[in-house]
Structure 1
Amino acid sequence: MEIVILRDAHEVGRTAASAVAALLARRPDAVLGLATGSSPLPVYDELARLHAEDGLDFSRASGFALDEYVGLPGDHPESYRSVIRRDFAERVNIDPVRVHSPDGAAADLEDACARYEQAILDAGGVDLQILGIGTDGHIGFNEPGSSLASRTRIKTLTEQTRRDNARFFSSIDEVPHHVVTQGVGTIMAARHVVLVATGAVKAGAVHGLVEGPVTAMCVASVLQFHPHATVIVDEAAASALDLADYYRHIYDNKPSWQGL
């Protein structure tokens, strides 16, 4: 696991986006894993800029969203299908048909989960998964206590997560209680995971992810077992890390040929 500590959210977004750009240069038909929430927004802003100003090409790429609320129609402004379209897909030249989301409105949710898992496999798996992290250490919507071997399935949100997400709705009463999410095992199957976190509110979760024990109570800690995980955080999110100076030293002295 590589820990990259940067000054602010803008630098976090720029650095994470550079990993996506490098991947597309090597493999134009790459499969991207797409997270929602506040943390990935600077990444999508920078990818949109790279597309508009430098011609970064997404025309052969495809994407899979991490999760979706159960019960929200796909055209609801806060459905993650809508959010991914608004924050990312409509700002670059990716084919909308190639941007996939779990079906949280399916009549048979168990079957929809299995089909989504299979669709990822049929696409060849995710080359680069963008992740955020919840204040309780969740990735995707794999809440504390989730199986670290889980695959795409239905999950019940904690009240903390519902409170955190209430800012996107008129009130917490509108936040669904259930979601469809890629599982921890699904996320771990991605060939490269890039997790971004900004702000002091994420400091405790980042500490648990990087320096805590591997435990289902901080699901993101499982990334300590991933063969290629990059954690990119700003100074505030890194404020609880005991070895922050060491991580800075490692990054500052990386060989020039070694990318993210």
Structure 2
Amino acid sequence: MRIIRAKDYDKLSKKAASIIASQVILNPESVLGLATGSTPIGTYRELVRMYNEGIISFKDIITFNLDEYYGLDKGDKQSYSYFMYDKLFNYIDISKNNINIPNGKTDDIQRECHGYENKIKKSGGIDLQLLGIGKNGHIGFNEPDLKFEALTHLVKLDKETIDSNSRFFSSIEEVPKMAISMGIKTIMHSKKIILLASGEEKGKVIYEMIYGKITPKLPASVLQLHPDVTVIVDKEAGYML
């Protein structure tokens, strides 16, 4: 596990974007796994800048998002589909046919999850997966549990996750209580992984993820077993390292 300590959030974002850009340049047909939340916004902004300057093209890139709120339409402003188009897809040359995000309005959750897994397999697997981390150690929406959920599945969100995500909604009652998420096995099959963490509130969980016991009670700890993980933290998130 490689650890990069960035001076601040801006430097963190630029470092992450440079690694993703290198992947895209070296393999213009790469399959990227993408994350949502506040942490990767700066990374996406930097990738858009690189695209506008002609440094990279996403013309033949395929993407798979980690998760989506269950029950939200893709046009809902709080959906992760809306987020991805608003922060990245609307501003680059990616083919809309190459964008894959779970359908939060599916009427057959089993078919949706199996279909998502099959799409990832048919694409050849994820070359580079971008991750954030929750204060409770979740990656994607894989919440602390007694066991690791392997494949894409429906998740009941923890109270801590709901409370944390309520900042994006008008009230906590509006926050979805369930989500569709890639599983741990799916994430771990990615050839490369970048995990981003920003802010002092992530410091303790980052330390436990890297140096603690591997346990489903802290899902991100499983990344200790992956052969190619880069953790990028800003000064605040890395204060315990």
Match in the other structure for 1:105: 105
Ranges of 4+ aligned residues in structure 1 off by more than 6 Å:
none
Match in the other structure for 2:8: 8
Q: How does the TM-score come out when normalised to structure 2?
A: 0.98
**Which blocks of at least 5 consecutive residues in structure 2 are unaligned?**
none
Match in the other structure for 1:190: 190
Structure 1 residues 147 and 84: alpha-carbon distance in aligned structure 2, compared to 1, 3 A threshold: farther
User: What one-letter code is carried by the residue in structure 1 that aligns with 2:51?
Assistant: H
Q: State the superposition RMSD in angstroms.
A: 1.0
Q: 1:77–1:83: 8 Å Cα contact kept in structure 2? A: yes
- What is the CA-CA distance between 1:95 and the residue it aligns to? 1.1
Match in the other structure for 1:178: 178
Q: C-alpha distance in 2, partners of 1:104/1:146?
A: 25
User: What one-letter code is carried by the residue in structure 1 that aligns with 2:117?
Assistant: E
Match in the other structure for 1:204: 204
Alignment partner of 1:89 is 2:95: no
Q: 1:148–1:222: 8 Å Cα contact kept in structure 2? A: no
For residues 1-260 of structure 1, what are the structure 2 equivalents within 5 Å?
Answer: 1-145=1-145, 147-148=147-148, 150-241=150-241
**Which blocks of at least 5 consecutive residues in structure 1 are unaligned?**
242-260
Match in the other structure for 1:251: none
Q: C-alpha distance in 2, partners of 1:66/1:142?
A: 10
Aligned length: 241
Q: C-alpha distance in 1, partners of 2:73/2:149?
A: 29
Structure 1 residues 147 and 94: alpha-carbon distance in aligned structure 2, compared to 1, 3 A threshold: farther
Deviations 1:42-85 (A, max 9, x none): 11011011111233111010100100111111110111111111
User: What one-letter code is carried by the residue in structure 1 that aligns with 2:30?
Assistant: A
Q: How does the TM-score come out when normalised to structure 1?
A: 0.91
Structure 1 residues 146 and 132: alpha-carbon distance in aligned structure 2, compared to 1, 3 A threshold: farther
User: What one-letter code is carried by the residue in structure 2 that aligns with 1:164?
Assistant: S
Q: C-alpha distance in 2, partners of 1:74/1:46?
A: 24
Q: C-alpha distance in 1, partners of 2:40/2:65?
A: 12
Match in the other structure for 1:257: none
Q: Which moved more, 1:17-26 or 1:185-194?
A: 17-26
